[in-house]
Homo-oligomer: A and B are copies of this chain.
Amino acid sequence: MAKGTIAKTVSERADLLPLISEVFRRHGYEGATLALIGKATGLGKGSLYHFFPDGKAQMAAEVLAEIDHWFEVNIFAVLRNSNDPAQAIADMTACVDRYFRSGNRVCLVGVIALGASRDIFSSQVQDYFSRWNDALAQTLRRAGFSAGVARRRSEDALLTIQGALVLARALDDTRVFGQAMVDMQARLLAK
């Protein structure tokens, strides 16, 4: 009930999600507190619950949806629509390297997959990876590989990205991530 100390900033929902996303990335679902999210966005709980009436779970769900959409547009769709498989895979690799800032940024979907919160978001996590897997395998099929090889190579690529992020962070060496991306691209199109 302090007198007239309320400013008006008018935040856009779309501007909020990337900021919240980084908090979840850094601290995981359980570690991301409303206080941290408030600090990152510059908003109080009032505003936060105005935009996300269902609280933290809704924020995480919408962040995951936005990430899913970004990958759908920038990566999955490119893989599906390209008729130059080698170029599509090169584009994907470059895009992934840029997105994860050469290993300095962590994959939120992977972080959630490892934690206890996987059970809450299991369908979104599974969907993200299996759609990526399908799109990439489809591209490899178009490059002339059998369904089995395509699928196996695609899974290998996905797991390489996730593992490279873990190891690069563990060793504090982004070079590990860069090398893994080079190796991954070579393995995808080998032979």
| A residues with CB within 8 A of B | 26-28, 30-31, 106, 109-111, 113-116, 118, 122, 125-126, 128-130, 133, 152, 155-156, 158-167, 169-172, 176, 179-180, 183
**Choice from B30, B115, B116, B169 contacting A118 with Cβ under 8 Å:** B169
Q: Give A177's nearest chain B residue, CB to CB.
A: B159
The CA of A172 and the CA of B159, in the complex, are separated in Å by: 13
The CA of A110 and the CA of B159, in the complex, are separated in Å by: 14
Q: How many copies does the complex hold?
A: 2
**Choice from B118, B133, B166, B179 contacting A114 with Cβ under 8 Å:** B166
8 A-B residue pairs with Cβ-Cβ distance under 8 Å, sorted by A, are A111-B114, A113-B169, A114-B169, A122-B172, A129-B167, A129-B170, A159-B164, A162-B163
Q: Give A182's nearest chain B residue, CB to CB.
A: B152
**Choice from B27, B115, B167, B180 contacting A111 with Cβ under 8 Å:** B115
Instruction: Tell me whether B162 and A176 are in contact (CB under 8 A).
Output: no
Q: Give A26's nearest chain B residue, CB to CB.
A: B116
Instruction: Tell me whether A126 and B163 are in contact (CB under 8 A).
Output: no
Q: Which residues does chain B contribute within 8 Å of A155, judged by CB atoms?
A: 167, 176, 179-180
* 10 interchain residue pairs of minimum CB distance: A163-B163, A159-B163, A113-B170, A30-B31, A162-B163, A162-B166, A159-B167, A129-B170, A110-B166, A27-B116
